[in-house]
Amino acid sequence: MAHQTRIPKLASILAVSALGLSLSPSWAARSFTPQAGTWVISDEVDGKPGRGFAIDVQGNTFFMQVFGYEKNGDATFYAATGQMEGDTVTAPLLRYQGGRSFGSEPRDAQEDKSIGDVKLSFRNGLQGTMQLPGEPAKDIERFIFTAPDAAYYQTEQWKTSSRMARWFGLNAQGQVEKSWFAMLKTSPTEPMRLTLSDGQTSETLECSLTTPSDSIRCVAANAADAGQAPVVKEAQFRLLGAQVAGAVSLQAEGAAPLQLLGINTRADYPYSGGVIVGCCANGLESFMPGTFGYAQRPAYQPSNGTWVMDDELTGKPGRGVSLDVQGGKMVMQVFAYRADGQPTFAMGVGDFAPDPELRDVSSARFSLQQYRGGRSVGGAASSGELVRDEGEVMVQVSGRTGGYGMPAGSLAEAMVQFPGESAKRMRRLPLQPWQTLEDQLFGEWYFPGLSYAGRPLTVTLNRREGEFVTNDDGSVRCQFNTQMLRGECQWPTATGTSGSSGPIELQDAFALSNSYVRLRDRYGNLVGLGQVPLN
């Protein structure tokens, strides 16, 4: 298969269903959050089947699934969970056994043993170091499988797309100095262009894709509308799934560059379909003239990270899934057990696109593959080899109207059908226990309808008052609407009356919303990727 030259054969397992951990840190907040999904050891990426791991950080709770091999070559997995202390975490690496295999009856697993502590330290949301038991510390990185030389960038979808995003420019103190609606438009015949609008002015920059890195560099191309001077001199950034990271330089003399925190919201692909690349599950705003349908069928990207099956949440160790969707491709690692109860993993990759038969549903179908013979923890370098196909897996994600038994508009819920099993519901695993539904709204939010002294206003929701969460002085009050599954906020207006916002949509409650963007979690950690390499 063509993907085998680009994607290492990875795997791991979800071994803990309930994580009752302390959530009261005493250390400084992070300036980034490690991106959830597939990670690799940098010097082990050689295009051959190997080992890797899936990371998920929510707040200060860390969860990792390591997929590798036993000393005899059998595929296996380990899991580690702990609390981040600033940018670092140390946790026991645990092995499990006795759990469910594909097509088997329900079986809970049990802890077998700890093979020692694993230690991780992160430099930003895409890079860090890891020390496995019996091994030296090694560089690790987020596995990006839509690099500039990937076939994805040669497709008509990329060459004729318009990508929309929310951009925030953070100053040296981490405050939002500027905010924009950003649209990146590519064309097979014209230069790539970036349009930045702040609600008052709009300006255009001409862009180029930098190789061999995957960053995009844009420079000012015209004056701003309405005769006003352009604000942005240059922007350099990377598109990383649902997130954007980089730096923005301003035209003003002596202005310091701003760190870019961006949230991709939508991508339009003329004539060939649409892909939602970030937070929105509300379809494409591109209607056919004179009709009531979409010009393109949207796809709905699920929340990358650790997933579990609803009917297997027993409070005991079990099997689980890591989903990673980038650029129309889905990578899945399934962390499960063999028929004899020994831990193993299966991995697959396939196209993720609008379902050909179901309206408002996106899907992927591909084979899950088993490997053996790769590197063990503490062992010598070794590449794995394909053993067999386990069969086909199907994943379906619903859009606005729901479908296939799923609630409407959730990017953190899906249907999955493993080989030899019936379809079942699965969901992204929340690592932080909430005392109330309103607790999901804790953190620092950007509110687009509010401003102060010409700067975008952010609101930190950090107090609970009955069924509301509020900021320190109680001027902004938000409540969770259980029927609509969204947050709704109110604040006083200049006339003394109570104003109300549009809803805080929580299709991906772990990081993103649409107009309202969570900038920091309940502990003050920035949800962005921080200062990532651009060259």
Confidence check: pLDDT of 214 > 80: no
What is the reported pLDDT for 277? 39
Q: What is the DSSP letter of 5?
A: G
Share of the chain above pLDDT 70, in %: 75
Q: What is the DSSP letter of 403?
A: B
Say whether 277 sits in a helix, a strand or coil.
coil
Q: What is the DSSP letter of 158?
A: H
At 390, the pLDDT band (50, 70, 90 cuts) reads very high
CA–CA distances in Å: residue 294 to residues 4, 16, 120, 389: 35, 42, 46, 38
Closest CA to 225 of 205, 249, 200, 206: 200
What confidence tens digit (pLDDT) does each residue in 351-376 have? Answer: 888 888 887 788 999 999 999 999 99
Closest CA to 276 of 265, 262, 286, 287: 265
Question: 77 phi and psi, to 5 degrees?
Answer: -150, 160
String of DSSP letters for 327-355 = TTEEEEEEEEE-TTS-EEEEEEEEE-EE-
| 407 upstream amide cis, omega within 30 of 0 | no
What is the reported pLDDT for 453? 47
- CA pair distance 156, 158, nearest whole angstrom: 5
> Do the Cβ atoms of 365 and 352 come closer than 8 Å?
no
Residue range 162-166: mean pLDDT, rounded: 81
Tokens found for residue 440: 């999901």
What is the reported pLDDT for 209? 82
Q: Burial letters for 308-326: b for 16+ Cβ neighbours within 10 Å, e otherwise?
A: bbeebeeebbbbbbbbbbb
Name the residue type at position 228. Answer: Q
- CA pair distance 267, 157, nearest whole angstrom: 10
What's the mean per-residue pLDDT of the chain?
A: 80
Q: Which CATH architecture does the domain made up of 162-268 adopt? A: Beta Barrel (2.40)
What is the reported pLDDT for 403? 39
> Where is mean pLDDT largest: 115-129, 391-405, 480-494?
115-129
Specify the higher pLDDT residue, 1 or 434. Answer: 434
Give kind and range of the element (H or E) at residue 442.
none
Confidence check: pLDDT of 16 > 90: no
CA–CA distances in Å: residue 338 to residues 98, 373, 386, 425: 8, 16, 16, 22
What is the reported pLDDT for 49? 87
Q: Domains of the chain: which residue ranges?
A: 2-145+304-322+330-346+366-388, 162-268, 437-520
At 524, the pLDDT band (50, 70, 90 cuts) reads very high
What is the reported pLDDT for 508? 54
DSSP β-ladder status, 424-428 and 413-417: antiparallel
Residue range 279-293: mean pLDDT, rounded: 31
At 63, the pLDDT band (50, 70, 90 cuts) reads very high
Residue range 118-147: mean pLDDT, rounded: 94
Q: Where are the beta strands (DSSP E) in 301-398?
A: 305-309, 320-326, 329-337, 343-351, 353-354, 361-372, 385-398
Closest CA to 68 of 332, 333, 375, 380: 375
- CA pair distance 269, 289, nearest whole angstrom: 17
Confidence check: pLDDT of 37 > 60: yes
Which pTM was predicted? 0.86
Share of the chain above pLDDT 90, in %: 51
Confidence check: pLDDT of 136 > 50: yes
Confidence check: pLDDT of 92 > 90: yes
Residue range 63-72: mean pLDDT, rounded: 96
Closest CA to 490 of 510, 505, 472, 470: 470
Residue showing tokens 């794995």: 384
Specify the higher pLDDT residue, 493 or 472. Answer: 472
What is the reported pLDDT for 170? 95
Residue range 104-111: mean pLDDT, rounded: 94
What is the reported pLDDT for 399? 65
Confidence check: pLDDT of 439 > 60: yes
Confidence check: pLDDT of 518 > 90: no
Tokens found for residue 394: 């199907």
Phi-psi group of 112: left, alpha or beta (phi > 0 → left; psi -120 to 50 → alpha; rest → beta):
alpha
- CA pair distance 259, 169, nearest whole angstrom: 5
Give the Cβ contact number of residue 423 at 10 Å: 14
What is the reported pLDDT for 282? 28
> Where is mean pLDDT largest: 361-375, 439-453, 473-487?
361-375
Confidence check: pLDDT of 269 > 60: no
Cβ contacts of 419 within 8 Å, gap of 6 or more? 102, 103, 368, 390, 391, 392, 393
What confidence tens digit (pLDDT) does each residue in 300-349 have? Answer: 778 899 999 999 988 899 999 999 988 778 999 999 999 999 999 999 99
Confidence check: pLDDT of 146 > 50: yes
Specify the higher pLDDT residue, 146 or 85. Answer: 85
Task: For residue 307, list its beta bridge partners.
Answer: 321, 428
CA triple 412-416-420, angle to 5 deg = 160
At 481, the pLDDT band (50, 70, 90 cuts) reads confident
Residue range 130-134: mean pLDDT, rounded: 97
What is the reported pLDDT for 476? 86
What is the reported pLDDT for 311? 94
